[in-house]
């Protein structure tokens, strides 16, 4: 048998796998590749991989035999049962100390399960988020690895070489934490991406529906916003989308696209996880539900002819001021979204006993990924100032930014409400901000209601925390209280 020559193997030559292989090869690594439909291997070798240090394999056995020890194999197949199928094929062929890496969009509990199961067999498993789409995979993605920490030193040189770089040469890749921590962080990244996209869509809706801005004017606005605090990949591509015209009709392409959104599940998982952990993640939840509402296209079209709103009036205020206000509303809401997302990661780390460094996550997201932005540099600075920060809003910089943008944000919310334009993400962000800064909420009444109908008990303002009381509100009930617990 020939001496193994490959530094790493990769299974799954679809869009992500192929580009990651080329990126690795470009950084001096020899990569062995395999794909279930083996004709893909041949096409790849004859095409983009031609003349490169890429070893094509037609079976997993051949792939395993071509790898230097400890063997490192990256799996880039469809998330779910396909990953288990590939692991089941590989595991019997590997030796203790060999490393398997799942780079797909896997749900983090699956990664935790696989890390534990493979550890029993002496195999080291990594579940890593890879963000940045096709171009990121080729030119430098953000990589968020977690799993068995013993695997990290072996994989680190490859991952940090191929990752995006910021501030000169700092890689957007570092060890996130044990078990499913890497995929959890990637999931939250995707949730935040949902939130950022929804906020941008709400800003577009306001400027388009209320001010009558067409694609050219919107292109100009987003170009300007991209040079301010909103400077980010998503604002940049939005600007470019407004600048793109359908080659056939010459109309702005965006105007020709049907208003129903798809989703693959990572936003939903983020929201479910927030509900399980009891962390308010209102903005991302609204972003997920906004996609669901958009998908009810036929129902919405019928309802639009039945349900009445405010009479559509043209905007009578100062247009330039309103555009600036929308920028502030978008910016402030974005701060809230990230504050909620980072609070979720903190809660998950506490719950699972993982250590997730929020500052390091902010750094990994600064480049390479879909939510990359200048703003993440400020978040990194906030967590450097105080790694134990409870909520990003409490950092002095972000506190100041929220104060600065608040009046514009509130004006936008009231104009949207009075004109009947839905801004679920911007308005729920404002409600969260006002709720979080309230030392007293109306929940005293809620506790009274719970105690009234279910004897669920309440704590009193004039007694120490932890003492629970029940009132016989009607005189008809008994004195027995329900068990106190938090669901």
Q: Which residues are annotated as a binding site?
A: 12-17, 35-37, 77-79, 105, 131-133, 189-190, 194, 264, 291, 450, 456
**Residues 373-412: x where in contact with ligand NBP by CB under 6 A, - otherwise, as a string:** ----------------------------------------
Measure the CA–CA gap between 470 and 456, rounded to whole angstroms: 7
According to the binding rule CB under 6 A, does residue 265 interact with ligand NBP?
Answer: no
Q: Which stretch binds ligand NBP (CB under 6 A): 126-134, 231-239, 291-299, 337-345?
A: 126-134
E-strand spans in 307-426?
Answer: none
According to the binding rule CB under 6 A, does residue 336 interact with ligand NBP?
Answer: no
- At 54, which helix (H) or strand (E)? strand 54-56
Task: Give DSSP secondary structure letters for 257-323.
Answer: S-S-----SHHHHHHHHHHHHT---HHHHHHHHHHHHHH-HHHHHHHHTT---S------S-HHHHH
According to the binding rule CB under 6 A, does residue 23 interact with ligand NBP?
Answer: no
Least distance to ligand NBP, CB of residue 266, Å: 8
Please classify residue 80 by burial: count the beta carbons closer than 10 Å to its beta carbon, then call 0-12 exposed, 13-18 middle and 19+ buried: middle
Q: Which stretch binds ligand NBP (CB under 6 A): 131-139, 272-280, 340-348, 380-388?
A: 131-139
Please classify residue 476 by burial: count the beta carbons closer than 10 Å to its beta carbon, then call 0-12 exposed, 13-18 middle and 19+ buried: exposed
Please classify residue 245 by burial: count the beta carbons closer than 10 Å to its beta carbon, then call 0-12 exposed, 13-18 middle and 19+ buried: middle
Q: Look up 186 and say whether it is catalytic.
A: yes
At CA 61, angle to CA 59 and CA 65, rounded to 5?
Answer: 120
With beta carbons less than 8 A apart as the criterion, state whether 128 and 155 touch.
no
At CA 362, angle to CA 359 and CA 363, rounded to 5?
Answer: 90
Least distance to ligand NBP, CB of residue 242, Å: 22
Least distance to ligand NBP, CB of residue 470, Å: 50
According to the binding rule CB under 6 A, does residue 77 interact with ligand NBP?
Answer: yes
According to the binding rule CB under 6 A, does residue 115 interact with ligand NBP?
Answer: no
- Measured from the CB atom, is 84 or 236 closer to ligand NBP? 84
Least distance to ligand NBP, CB of residue 185, Å: 13
Which of 28, 42, 58, 78 forms a contact with ligand NBP (CB under 6 A)?
78
With beta carbons less than 8 A apart as the criterion, state whether 365 and 376 touch.
yes
Which of 79, 288, 348, 429 forms a contact with ligand NBP (CB under 6 A)?
79
Which of 40, 154, 219, 372 forms a contact with ligand NBP (CB under 6 A)?
40
Which of 104, 178, 180, 359 forms a contact with ligand NBP (CB under 6 A)?
104
Least distance to ligand NBP, CB of residue 418, Å: 40
Question: For ligand NBP, which residue has the nearest CB?
Answer: 104
Task: Give the residues across from 410 on adjacent strands.
Answer: none
**So which residues are the catalytic ones?**
186, 193
Q: Which residues bind ligand NBP (CB under 6 A)?
A: 12-17, 35-37, 40, 76-79, 82, 85-86, 104-105, 130-131, 133-134
């Amino acid at each position: 048998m020939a001496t193994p020559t490959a530094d790493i193997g990769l299974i799954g030559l679809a869009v992500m796998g192929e580009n990651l292989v080329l990126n690795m090869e470009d950084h001096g690594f020899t990569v062995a590749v395999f794909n279930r439909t083996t004709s893909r291997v041949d096409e790849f070798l004859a095409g983009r991989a031609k003349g490169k240090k890429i070893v094509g394999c037609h079976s997993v056995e051949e792939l395993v035999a071509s790898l230097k020890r400890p063997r490192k194999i990256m799996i880039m197949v469809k998330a779910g049962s396909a990953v288990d199928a590939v692991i089941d094929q590989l595991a019997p062929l590997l030796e203790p100390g060999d490393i398997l890496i799942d780079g797909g969009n896997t749900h983090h509990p699956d990664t935790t399960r696989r890390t534990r199961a493979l550890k029993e067999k002496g195999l080291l498993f990594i579940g890593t988020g890879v963000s940045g789409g096709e171009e990121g995979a080729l030119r430098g993605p953000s990589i968020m690895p977690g799993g068995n920490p013993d695997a990290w030193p072996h994989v680190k040189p490859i991952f940090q070489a191929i990752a995006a770089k910021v501030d000169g040469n700092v890689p957007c890749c570092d060890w996130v934490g044990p078990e499913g921590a890497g995929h959890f962080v990637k999931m939250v990244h995707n949730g935040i991406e949902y939130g950022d996209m929804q906020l941008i869509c709400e800003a577009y809706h306001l400027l388009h529906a209320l001010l009558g801005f067409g694609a050219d004017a919107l292109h100009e606005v987003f170009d300007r916003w991209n040079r301010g605090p909103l400077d980010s990949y998503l604002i940049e591509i939005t600007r470019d989308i407004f600048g793109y015209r359908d080659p056939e009709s010459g109309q702005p392409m965006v105007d020709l696209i049907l208003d129903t959104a798809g989703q693959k599940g990572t936003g939903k998982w983020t929201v479910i996880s927030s509900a399980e952990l009891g962390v308010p993640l209102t903005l991302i939840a609204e972003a997920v539900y906004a996609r669901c509402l958009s998908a009810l296209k036929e129902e919405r079209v019928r309802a639009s002819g039945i349900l009445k709103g405010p009479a559509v009036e043209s905007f009578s205020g100062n247009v330039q001021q309103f555009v600036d206000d929308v920028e502030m509303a978008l910016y402030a809401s974005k701060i809230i979204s990230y504050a909620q997302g980072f609070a979720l990661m903190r809660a998950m780390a506490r719950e699972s006993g993982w250590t997730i460094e929020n500052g390091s996550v902010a750094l990994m997201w600064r480049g390479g990924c879909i939510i990359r932005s200048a703003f993440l540099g400020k978040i990194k600075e906030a967590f450097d100032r105080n790694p134990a920060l409870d909520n990003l809003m409490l950092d002095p910089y972000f506190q100041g930014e929220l104060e600065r943008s608040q009046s514009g944000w509130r004006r936008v919310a009231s104009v949207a409400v009075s004109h009947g334009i839905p801004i679920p993400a911007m308005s729920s962000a404002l409600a969260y901000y006002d709720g979080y800064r309230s030392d007293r909420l109306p929940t005293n009444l809620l506790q009274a209601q719970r105690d009234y109908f279910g004897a669920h008990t309440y704590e009193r303002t004039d007694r120490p925390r932890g003492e629970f009381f029940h009132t016989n509100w009607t005189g008809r009930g008994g004195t027995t209280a329900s068990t106190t617990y938090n669901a």
